[in-house]
């Protein structure tokens, strides 16, 4: 099989490299000359565990090549994937499809053989119909079929998600599309990965429905966490207690500072927009978006409370550990850390931050924050330390050293990495998410014991 992947960003590059690893002949295409040059030199445009090795190995084996020329890259391809960005359009939250449509037009103008054109980018319902219309309008004489094949890749675990998927969703309207896609995914088919064949519009909606549901699950447990703090309950046990019910399942029930990233915030907004366009309100998703937005800001207030309240916080110093929206990525898009640091600097707090991979991307997003290259440097002279992202590097911190370096032994753990009892024994004022059993304590009242 020959596969062309148009767009060598996160999704395109991971998918292209994995297809090559299955034994297909893959060309990754991108307009960005410097990105292609760097890929030729083995330099990855993103941080993703295992990707450099996977790309390198398949380039060496001659199965994976890169080009800036779409016309060259799609020549002879059985399947042409569109994996370009669909960012939120400024103002209305609608997915910006201009890149997808521009690529569809270029494919139509350069198609040199019969091929299946596959949208891998996350696109609203009906986009496949429009891509089909654009291809028809290009006047191509070749037979083509437009298929939807959404990605379900988690950053940091993308290669594993691609190779061992819970399911593959293929939305096709004809046999040509279905047959080629079956061949493309044959290695996984043999692996017994479930493949769902459905209609194109249904497939497009499945992607949004999946992400909106996961965002709902997270938001639900986050609200339960708030309630736990009020009623004196433990949200981690609530998660376990409900997650053991097979109908609910244990995953995506970790309470935290709110979801971020390149998908959930953008896709929930795009789903709302589709619902509005079709006059079919999705009120649950509306609430999820609102609750998550206000939660990120509320996390900033939680840190201020640990400093003794907004008034007392002015002029104090906070060490932020972790900036990316989750560990094992350098992605800062919609990271809760942005809202937390904003709330702190707005209140006149000085913030020093450390993140293992995200600091380059974080700098322009939080210009008032001082970035340092070691967690303990951030902690020096701090009145409070807050863990915003659960990187492994923060799971076994040296608390004796922290006590020596920090001005006050205060830890605000927004990812529930540590246990309140142990932290208290170490002499810390410790506050986390959704632990009300022992009371969160109130720094404004000078309460350091009941935490």
Give the whole-angstrom CA distance, residue 314 versus residue 347: 6
Nearer to ligand UDX, 155 or 408 (CB): 155
Least Å distance between CB 156 and ligand UDX?
A: 7
**Which of the ranges 49-57, 163-171, 246-254, 423-431 carries the binding residues for ligand UDX, by CB under 6 A?**
246-254
Q: How far is the CB of 147 from ligand UDX (least distance, A)?
A: 18
Asked if residues 167 and 193 have their Cβ atoms less than 8 Å apart, the reply is yes
Does 253 participate in binding ligand UDX (rule CB under 6 A)?
yes
Which residue is catalytic, options 18, 28, 228, 263?
A: 263
| Chain-centroid distance, C-alpha 81 | 21
213 binding ligand UDX? (CB under 6 A):
no
Task: Name residues whose C-beta falls within 8 Å of residue 333's C-beta, 6 or more positions apart in sequence.
Answer: 260, 261, 262, 265, 325
Coil, strand or helix at 6: strand
Q: Which of the residues 75 through 114 are near ligand UDX (CB under 6 A)?
A: none
Q: Binding residue for ligand UDX (CB under 6 A) from 144, 208, 325, 354?
A: 325
Q: How far apart are CA 383 and CA 98, in angstroms?
A: 48
Q: Which of 256, 375, 409, 434 contacts ligand UDX by CB under 6 A?
A: 256
Least distance between ligand UDX and beta carbon 207 (Å): 7
**Residue whose CB is less far from ligand UDX, 30 or 155:** 155
* 236: Cβ contacts below 8 Å, ≥ 6 apart: 255, 416, 434, 435
Q: Which is nearer to ligand UDX, 112 or 284 (CB)?
A: 284
Catalytic (active site) residue 228: no
Q: Is 115 in the site for ligand UDX (CB under 6 A)?
A: no
Between 110 and 193, CB nearer to ligand UDX: 193
Asked if 218 touches ligand UDX (CB under 6 A), the answer is yes
Least distance in Å: CB of 33 to ligand UDX? 28
Residues whose CB is less than 8 angstroms from the CB of residue 311 and which lie 6 or more positions away in sequence, other chains included = none
Q: Which stretch binds ligand UDX (CB under 6 A): 99-107, 252-260, 376-384, 399-407?
A: 252-260
Residue 10 binding ligand UDX, by CB under 6 A:
no
Nearer to ligand UDX, 8 or 239 (CB): 239
> Would you say 145 or 268 has its CB closer to ligand UDX?
268
C-alpha dist (Å) from residue 255 to 59, 115, 267, 451: 41, 45, 20, 18
Nearer to ligand UDX, 177 or 336 (CB): 336
Please, where are the H alpha helices in 358-419? 359-362, 375-379, 399-405
Structure tokens at 334: 């919609």
Residue ranges in 259-278 that form contacts with ligand UDX under rule CB under 6 A = 259-264
Q: Using DSSP, state whether 71 is helix, strand or coil.
A: helix
Q: Which candidate, 206, 213, 210, places its Cα nearest to that of 170?
A: 206
Query: Contact region for ligand UDX (CB under 6 A) — 26-34, 66-74, 85-93, 253-261?
Result: 253-261
- Measured from the CB atom, the residue of 127 and 262 that comes closer to ligand UDX is 262
Contact string (CB under 6 A) for ligand UDX, positions 326-345, x = contact: x-------------------
Return the structure tokens found at 275: 């619902």
Comparing every residue's Cβ against ligand UDX, the nearest one is 263
Contacts of the segment 50-57: beta carbons below 8 A, 24+ positions apart: 50/159, 51/13, 51/14, 51/17, 51/158, 51/159, 54/17, 54/18, 54/21, 54/159, 55/13, 55/17, 57/21
User: Hey, how many other C-beta atoms are within 10 angstroms of the C-beta on 373?
Assistant: 8
Segment 119 to 158, residues that bind ligand UDX, using CB under 6 A: 151-155
How many residues touch ligand UDX under the rule CB under 6 A: the total is: 20
Residue for token pair 């992947």: 5
Closest by CA position to 240, among listed 251, 231, 232, 230: 251
Burial (CB count within 10 angstroms: exposed 0-12, middle 13-18, buried 19+), residue 175: exposed
Task: Tell me how far, at minimum, the Cβ of 172 lies from ligand UDX, in Å.
Answer: 20
Binding site for ligand UDX (CB under 6 A): 151-155, 211, 214, 218, 252-254, 256, 259-264, 325-326
Catalytic center residues: 263
């Amino acid at each position: 099989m020959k596969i062309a992947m148009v767009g060598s960003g996160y999704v395109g590059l991971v998918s292209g490299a994995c297809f090559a690893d299955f034994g297909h002949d893959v060309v990754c295409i991108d307009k960005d000359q410097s990105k292609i040059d760097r890929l030729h030199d083995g330099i990855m445009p993103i941080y993703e565990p295992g990707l450099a090795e996977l790309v390198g190995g398949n380039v060496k084996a001659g199965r994976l090549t890169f080009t800036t020329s779409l016309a060259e890259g799609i020549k002879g391809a059985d399947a042409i994937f569109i994996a370009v960005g669909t960012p939120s359009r400024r103002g209305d939250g609608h997915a910006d499809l201009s890149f997808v449509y521009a690529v569809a037009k270029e494919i139509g103008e350069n198609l040199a053989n019969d091929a299946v054109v596959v949208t891998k980018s996350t696109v609203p319902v009906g986009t496949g119909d429009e891509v089909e219309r654009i291809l028809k309008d290009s006047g191509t004489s070749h037979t083509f079929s437009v298929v939807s094949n959404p990605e379900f890749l988690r950053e940091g675990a993308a290669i594993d998600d691609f190779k061992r998927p819970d399911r593959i969703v293929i939305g096709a309207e004809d046999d040509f599309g279905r047959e080629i896609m079956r061949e493309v995914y044959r290695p996984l088919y043999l692996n017994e990965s479930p493949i769902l064949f459905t209609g194109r519009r249904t497939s497009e909606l499945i992607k949004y429905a999946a992400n909106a549901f996961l965002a709902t699950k997270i938001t639900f447990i986050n609200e339960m966490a708030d309630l736990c703090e009020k009623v004196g309950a433990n949200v981690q046990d609530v998660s376990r207690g409900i997650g053991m019910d097979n109908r609910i399942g244990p995953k995506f029930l970790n309470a935290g500072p709110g979801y971020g990233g390149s998908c959930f915030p953008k896709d929930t907004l795009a789903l709302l927009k589709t619902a509005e366009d079709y006059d079919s309100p999705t009120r649950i998703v509306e609430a999820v978006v609102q609750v998550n937005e206000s939660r990120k800001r509320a996390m900033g207030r939680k840190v201020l409370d640990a400093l003794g309240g907004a008034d007392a916080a002015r002029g104090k110093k906070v060490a932020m550990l972790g900036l990316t929206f989750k560990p094992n990525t350098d992605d800062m898009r919609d990271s809760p850390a942005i809202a937390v640091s904003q709330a702190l600097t707005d209140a006149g707090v000085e913030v020093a931050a450390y993140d293992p991979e995200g600091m380059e991307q974080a700098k322009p997003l939080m210009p008032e924050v001082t970035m340092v290259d070691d967690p303990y440097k951030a902690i020096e002279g701090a009145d409070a330390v807050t863990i915003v992202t659960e990187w492994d590097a923060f799971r076994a911190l040296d608390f004796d050293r922290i006590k020596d370096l920090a001005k006050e032994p205060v830890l605000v753990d927004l990812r529930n990495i540590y246990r309140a009892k142990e932290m208290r024994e170490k002499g810390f004022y410790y506050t986390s998410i959704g632990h009300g059993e022992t009371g969160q304590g109130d720094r404004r009242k000078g309460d350091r014991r009941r935490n």
